[in-house]
Amino acid sequence: MWKPAILLKKKRLSHIDHTQLKAFCTWEDIKKLCDEAIEYNTASVCIPPSYIERIKETYGDKINICTVIGFPLGYNTTETKVFEVKDAIAKGCNEVDMVINIGDVKNGDFDKVETEIRTLKEAAGDKVLKVIVETCYLTEEEKIKLCQCVTNAKADYIKTSTGFGTDGATIEDIRLFSKNIGPNVKMKAAGGVKSREDLEMFLDAGCDRIGTSSAVKMLEIE
């Protein structure tokens, strides 16, 4: 029988996208991430696209692979992002986290943003698409409009941040998302989730996924 504390820890970890996206991450770093993900049964590993094939060859179906698209700045063309999505899936990826074109948001071209999200969801098919909106650069009005774009385009998740911007996830943004997304859109908090208290706060607020490189470390100290 699992003890209640262990069951709670396992439940928390099942919501984690165990993440390593540093520009200088090595294969040793990626292997450590994957081994931890298997040991602790995290939701996925979120890794650079260049490592997808090697992970698939090494670990097979033992691990759920997530990668990033148009990362971290989002201003790749839609055609480039579509290629990235299809290439990632062909190499063994099950989930893709795309970055929107923030310039389009600032230009007020929300139809273009929504069209791009819809196009990438079509490219992803039955695979999971998460939409990174990079909240640190947005006004409240822009965040609300992006909730509508993500919902209308039938993406699977709205995600706060890349972790490479000027700020990361905030509880205020998650509460705002919760009020403005459709019932079929889930939420992912990422960027700056460093403590067990952060993790619990975002999960309690309704996040289905948490993107962090710190989850295993923060829960090991319990």
- Would you state the pLDDT for residue 98? 99
Single out the residue of 44, 12, 48, 13 nearest to residue 30, CA to CA: 48
Question: What's the mean pLDDT in 167-185?
Answer: 98
Lowest mean pLDDT among 46-55, 77-86, 187-196: 187-196
CB 53 within 8 A of CB 91: yes
Average pLDDT over residues 132-149: 98
pLDDT of residue 1: 42
Within a 10 A sphere around the Cβ of 180, how many other Cβ atoms?
17
Write out pLDDT tens, residues 141-169: 999 999 999 999 999 999 999 999 999 99
DSSP characters for 142-191?
A: HHHHHHHHHHHTT-SEEE---SSSS----HHHHHHHHHHS-TT-EEEEES
Q: Are 76 and 48 in contact (CB under 8 A)?
A: no
% of the chain beyond a pLDDT of 90: 89
% residues pLDDT > 70 (the chain): 95
Cα dihedral: 35, 41, 46, 48 (round 10) = 20
Greatest alpha-carbon pair distance for the chain in Å reads 56
Structure tokens at 42: 């995290």
Do 93 and 127 touch, CB atoms closer than 8 A? yes
Which pLDDT band, with edges at 50, 70 and 90, does 215 fall under?
confident
Q: At 45, list the tokens.
A: 């590993």
Taking residues 58-81, what's their average pLDDT?
A: 98
Q: Which two tokens stand for residue 149?
A: 């774009």
The vertex-104 CA angle with 98 and 110, nearest 5°, equals 90
Per-residue pLDDT at 220: 73
Catalytic residue list? 97, 159, 188
Structural domains in the chain, sorted by start = 15-220 (3.20.20.70)
